[in-house]
Structure 1
Amino acid sequence: MASAVKSRSDDATSLTETFLAPNPVPSSTAWESDTAHQVRLGKSLVRIEHVGNLPDWMREVLARLNQVARMPENWDTYGAVPVNQRTLEHSLLVLTKLMPASRYLPRILASTHGGVLLQWDDGRRELEISVDAPMRGSVYYTDHESGDEDEEQLSLDLKPVIQRVGSFWR
């Protein structure tokens, strides 16, 4: 079953079955459900709907995103800015859509301008998704053996990216 990520906010932006917003949760009783998991993501609490325990990949993704969220200003000593909370949440949204198609977790890194980088690399191919802001980013793919390269803008329609991630492991 696919996971859905929601916030307590009534004004959350709808992206298919997934919702994210940065509002903190007022009480745990607001989240009572057999399928809801309340988790910390950066400065916010988010609700992830998933039947049963969260999958291991989701726990690892949350841990890695929280590591990125803790990086301070100037973490690279060249003036890097901390990851924006909404960008962090949008990165989780993107990953909840992509991970069912992937065999492996991506490297999850902070970008120097406050975004999140998601990188898959198998030695001969690379796939990098840059989440620069909510609803904004890019997807870059290269195949070192064939010389194929492709770059496109990240959009709300993640189907092409899901297909790219799925084909990455064939």
Structure 2
Amino acid sequence: MRFNHGVLTLITILIIGIVILNNIIALPFLLIYPLFYSRKSKTFAKILSGLLYSFLIFIFLFSAFVKLIFSSNKLLLQKSSPNKKYNIVVIDNDQGALGGNTIVELEKIYFNSIKKQRIVYIDRWGKSLEIEWIDNENVKIDENIINVNRKDKIDKRNSL
């Protein structure tokens, strides 16, 4: 199936947003994207689509370079839930001159080895957090109670 270059231009803009949010998710889009080009499009649409695809590749490579060179993650703490179905992982994300974040991820464990991760709490870089499991489904992070079944995310980076 081939798409018109106008449609591909809109898809490119969408993929640029995905690249900015997460490089790994965008990689398959970058690899299969050229397969959908149509040969029966106007020259202007082909040029615009090609320029946007080139810009997309540049953004992908630049963001991957910045993340690899200027960012480092260090595991600070890992605590399992009382029933061992969940882990809370505290990560120190150092971004050099940009500062960084203290990230708390919730890992759901399947078959004792497969982990599904999601961020549940973000704070300023270097912040020490007090973490305690209340029961099998609730964890207390600095006076904030997070239920593992809800998709809540607490962001304290901009609070005083």
Q: TM-score, normalised by structure 1?
A: 0.25
- Radius of gyration: which is bigger? 2
Higher share of residues assigned helix:
2
TM-score, length-normalised on structure 2?
A: 0.26
